[in-house]
Structure 1
Amino acid sequence: MNDKQQSWMIYGATGYSGKLIVERAVKAGLAPVLAGRSEQKVKALAEQHGLDYRVFDIHALAKSDALISNIALVLNCAGPFSQTAEVMMQACLKQQAHYLDITGEIAVFEMAASLNQAAKERGVVLCPGVGFDVIPTDCVAARLKAMMPDATHLALGFDSRSGFSPGTAKTSVEALPQGGKVRKGGQIVTVPLAAKTRKIDFGAGEKLAMTIPWGDVSTAYHNTGIPNIEVYIPASPGMVKQLKRMNWFKPLLGLGLVQNFLKKRVDKKVRGPDQATREKLTTHVWGEVTNAAGERQTYRIQVANGYEVTADGSLLVAQALMGKHAGASGYHTPSTLMGAGLVEQLPGTVLSP
C-alpha cells in the first residue's frame, strides 16, 4: 500500500463523537490524521494519542482541496453537516478520497446521492450516515425488503434515551423551521411537525410515537426502493402538542437571531452523555412494511447506545473502505455498501427471537 492508501482523516475530531471515534481507532491500533479548525484543541488531542494532525476551517477546502492531499478516506464528524458535508465531499471527489460522515440530515443524503455518477467516475465512495441511527435502521429496512419484496410502505423507528451531543442538538435546531418530512410516491414531501402519531412497540412495550424528519426518509428509499416511508420516535402527549403548536410560528424559527439564540443555549447546556450513561442505555429499533394487499411484516433489533453505535459503526466502515471494499465507488447507504448484516457486527446488537 502507498502512503495515501494508509492515510485517513477524522475531521471534527475534537467534537463529542469525534473524540469517541479517535479513542476507538487508537485502541484498534489505527493512526488517523486528526483535523479541525481549532489548532489548540486538535493539537492537544493529537499529542495525547501520538497522532499527526492538520488544522483548517472546512470552508478553506473550497479554495484548496490540497488540505486533504495524500488522504485515502475522510470521516467527517463536524456537524451540523449542512455546513460541512458538501464542501468536504467535493474536495474528496477532487482528491479521489472516500467520504464518510455521521449525519442524519436528509438534505445531506440527497445531495450525496446526486453525486453518485461523479463518485463512480472518480472511483470513490460517498457514504454519509455511518453511525446512529442510520446503520441500524438502514439494515432493518434491508431485512424488511427481503421479507416483503413487493412492499409499498415502510415505517421505521427507534426508542433511544441516548441524549444529545452538541452537534446533534444544533442539527435539530436547524431542522425545526423546515417542518416534518416523509416520502410519498417516491418523493420527499414536507408535512407539519409531528404530522402523524400512532402506538408502536419498538421492543420494550407499546408507546405513543410521532413522525420525525429523519435521514431514513432518504436513505431507506435508496436502499429499498419502497416509495412511501415514515420515521417514528416515542413522544409524550405533551411533546406532540408542543410540536404541533410550533407549526403555527415555524417560519420564525428559521430567523438568524432565533437560530443563534437556540444554538448558544446548546453550547451552554448540552454536553453529551458520559461513558457510564452510554454503557447502560440501549436502543430498540423497529420497522414495518406493508404491501398493496394489506399484508404486514415487522422486524426489531436492539443495539447499543447511539453514540456507541456511531463510534463502532463508523470505524468498521472506514476500515472496510481501506480494506476489502477499497475498490467500491458511487453513493451508498451503509447497508448497500456493507450488507444488511452490518449492524450485527457491532457490539451490543441483539436480534429479535
Structure 2
Amino acid sequence: MKHLMIYGASGYTGRLTAKAALSLGLPLLLAGRSGEPLDILAKEIDVAKRVFALEDPTVLDTELADCAVLLNCAGPYLHTAEPLMHAAIRNGVHYLDVAAELDSYRLAEQLDASAAAAGVMLLPGSGGSVAMLGSLAGHVIKGMKNPRKIAIALHVSGTMSRGSAISAAENMTAETLVRKDGKLLPRSSSHVQMFDFGNGPVSGIPVTLPDLITLWQTTRIPDIETYVHVSGDAFPNGDLATLPDGPSETERQANRYHAAVEITDGDGSVRRARLDTINGYSFTPLAAAQAARRVLAGEAKPGFQTPLGLFGSDFAETIADTRIIDIQGRHQKERVMFLDHIEFAVTNANTSRRFYESALGSLGVECVISQNATQTRSGGTRHGLGADGYPRLWIHDDQPVNSPIHIAFSVPERAIVDAFYAAALAAGGKDNGSPGIRNNYHTNYYAAFVLDPDGNNVECVCQTNDGKMQTG
C-alpha cells in the first residue's frame, strides 16, 4: 500500500495536519528531523514514524519508496522544499506543501518541466492562504469576459505560530513585488489600497505573497497585486524563539480569517468579493489533508499545479465554515477622494506629475491622460491624474505660476494620511505639518500637510471618529 508521508509532522501545523489526515482514514506515515517530538505524536495517534534529515539523497529515496504523496509541513521551506521536491521527482511521488514563502513556488516553476516529464505533480500551497485566495479569485473570474487585473488581500488576525514567525523572518522578501504585464517587478510599499472584508473598507498594505505566482500560473491575468491587512499580534516582534508553539484552540476560534478581491475586466468594469473562513491555523491542516486525500484518490496532473487549477474555485468552500460573498456597489477607490477636479499652473508639468504620482499613490492616484504642446491652449504640457480612470487633478506648464494654492484630499483611514505624508516627503515634498489631530478644526480632524515642488500646500485628511471608514 502506498502511503501519505507528512514531513515535519511534529511541528505545530504538522501535528494538526496529521490528525486531520488520520480522521479521513488516510494511509499515514509521520516523518521529520526531530526524533523525540515525533515519538510523542506517533504514540499519541498510533501511527508509524520515520526520522531522517534531508542532506543525503539516497536516504530520501529509501524513505519515499513506499509513498505516493509527500506533504511537506516543515518550515522554513527555504531549506526543505528543494531537497524534498527533487526527491519526489526522482521517486515518482506527488509533492504537496503548505508554504507561505515565495521560494517554494519559484522552485516549482523551475522544476515544472522535469516534474511533468516524471509524471509527478508539484502542488505547493495545497492548504492555507494560497488555497483561500485562489478560490476567491477564481469565483470572481468565472463571471468575467476578459479579466486583466487582480488586486487581492488577506486579513490576518490573531497570533502566529513560532515556526511560522521564524520562517517569515528568514524569508522576508527584500522588496515588495507586483506582477505587471505578466512580469514580477518591484513596487512601492507605500501604496495603500482599500478592501472590504465585511465591516467596511480598511487599508491593505502591499506585500509579496505567493499568489503573485499561483494566480498567474492558473489564470494568466497579466496584472496582479497582493496586500495584507493585519489586526492583533499577527506579526510578532522580539525573540521569536520564545513564542508559544502556536495559538490555542480558543485563540483560533476567536480570530477568523478574511480575504477580499477586486478584479478589473478589459472594459474597465470591476467585480469584488470577499471570503470569510475559520482561523488560518485551523483552515490549513483541514485543506491540506483534503488535498492529500484527493491526490491519493488519483486527482493529480503532472508538473507545477495550484489548488485553483487542480480543484477549482469551489475548493475553499469545502473546508469547514468557509463562505465566498459577492460585494455589490461602487468601486471602493471612489470613496477615497471627494475632489472632483482641480487645475493649476506649475513650473514643470513632468516634474510635478512625478511628484503627485508618488505622493498620492496611496490614494490610488495615477496619470490618466497627458497632452503635449500641440494639444493644449497654453502651448505647454498638461497631465490629468486621478483614481479609477477619471482625471480629477490637472496640472499644466507654460503659464505663469501664481501664488500657492491649497488642495485637500479626504480619505477614510488615518493610515492613508500617514502613508501620504511619508510618500510625499520621499518624493521631494517639504514638511508643512506632520500627521496628527488638528483640534482647531475639530477633535477628529487627522491631517498631514506637504508642500509640492511649487510651494502648493497639499493636505490629506481623515475626519472619522475612530480613524476608520464608517458604514451604515
Q: TM exceeds 0.5?
A: yes
Paired residue secondary structure (1:208)? strand
In structure 2, the partner of 1:348 is 321
TM-score of the superposition, structure 2-length normalised? 0.65
Q: Tell me the CA shift for residue 62 of structure 1.
A: 6.8
- Classify 1:227/1:177 alpha carbon distance in 2 versus 1 (closer, same or farther; 3 Å): closer
Q: Tell me the CA shift for residue 264 of structure 1.
A: 8.8
The match for 1:221 among 216, 223, 229 is 216
In structure 2, the partner of 1:320 is 294
- Count of residue correspondences: 324
In structure 1, the partner of 2:80 is 84
TM-score of the superposition, structure 1-length normalised? 0.86
AA paired with 1:197? Answer: V
Q: Contact 1:12–1:76 (CA<8 Å) still a contact in 2?
A: yes
- Classify 1:116/1:263 alpha carbon distance in 2 versus 1 (closer, same or farther; 3 Å): farther
- Once the two structures are superposed, the pairs formed by residues 256-271 of structure 1 within 5 Å of their partners are 265-271=239-245
Which deviations, in whole Å up to 9, do the C-alpha atoms of 1:24-60 show, x marking residues without a partner? 1222333411001111111221121111111011223
Q: Tell me the CA shift for residue 162 of structure 1.
A: 3.7
- Once the two structures are superposed, the pairs formed by residues 275-314 of structure 1 within 5 Å of their partners are 275-314=249-288
In structure 2, the partner of 1:248 is none
How many angstroms apart in 2 are the aligned matches of 1:165 and 1:314?
17
How many angstroms apart in 2 are the aligned matches of 1:298 and 1:265?
39
How many angstroms apart in 2 are the aligned matches of 1:207 and 1:325?
38
Across the aligned residues of Structure 1 and Structure 2, the Cα RMSD in angstroms comes to: 2.2
Instruction: Give the 4+ runs in structure 1 shifted more than 4 A.
Output: none
AA paired with 2:171? Answer: A
Which deviations, in whole Å up to 9, do the C-alpha atoms of 1:78-106 show, x marking residues without a partner? 01111110110000001100100000122
Q: Tell me the CA shift for residue 293 of structure 1.
A: 3.2
Q: Tell me the CA shift for residue 270 of structure 1.
A: 4.2
Paired residue secondary structure (1:147)? coil
AA paired with 1:345? Answer: T
Q: Contact 2:13–2:281 (CA<8 Å) still a contact in 1?
A: yes
Q: Which has the higher helix share?
A: 1
In structure 1, the partner of 2:347 is none
- Classify 1:190/1:59 alpha carbon distance in 2 versus 1 (closer, same or farther; 3 Å): farther
Q: Contact 1:170–1:263 (CA<8 Å) still a contact in 2?
A: no
In structure 2, the partner of 1:74 is 70
Q: Tell me the CA shift for residue 184 of structure 1.
A: 1.2
In structure 1, the partner of 2:405 is none
Gaps of 5+ in 2: 327-472
Q: Tell me the CA shift for residue 64 of structure 1.
A: 4.4
Paired residue secondary structure (1:112)? helix
The match for 1:36 among 32, 36, 43 is 32
In structure 1, the partner of 2:302 is 329
In structure 2, the partner of 1:232 is 227
Paired residue secondary structure (1:209)? strand
Q: Which has the higher strand share?
A: 2
The match for 2:171 among 168, 175, 181 is 175
- Classify 1:191/1:38 alpha carbon distance in 2 versus 1 (closer, same or farther; 3 Å): same
Which deviations, in whole Å up to 9, do the C-alpha atoms of 1:249-304 show, x marking residues without a partner? xxxxxxxxxxxxx9992111243210111123212211111134321111112111
- Once the two structures are superposed, the pairs formed by residues 53-68 of structure 1 within 5 Å of their partners are 53-61=49-57, 64-68=60-64
Paired residue secondary structure (1:287)? strand
Instruction: Tell me which structure has the larger Cα radius of gyration.
Output: 2
Q: Contact 2:26–2:293 (CA<8 Å) still a contact in 1?
A: no
- Classify 1:18/1:263 alpha carbon distance in 2 versus 1 (closer, same or farther; 3 Å): farther
Gaps of 5+ in 1: 244-261
Q: Contact 1:204–1:284 (CA<8 Å) still a contact in 2?
A: no
The range that moved more, 263-272 or 293-302, is 263-272
How many angstroms apart in 1 are the aligned matches of 2:29 and 2:237?
29
Q: Tell me the CA shift for residue 235 of structure 1.
A: 4.9
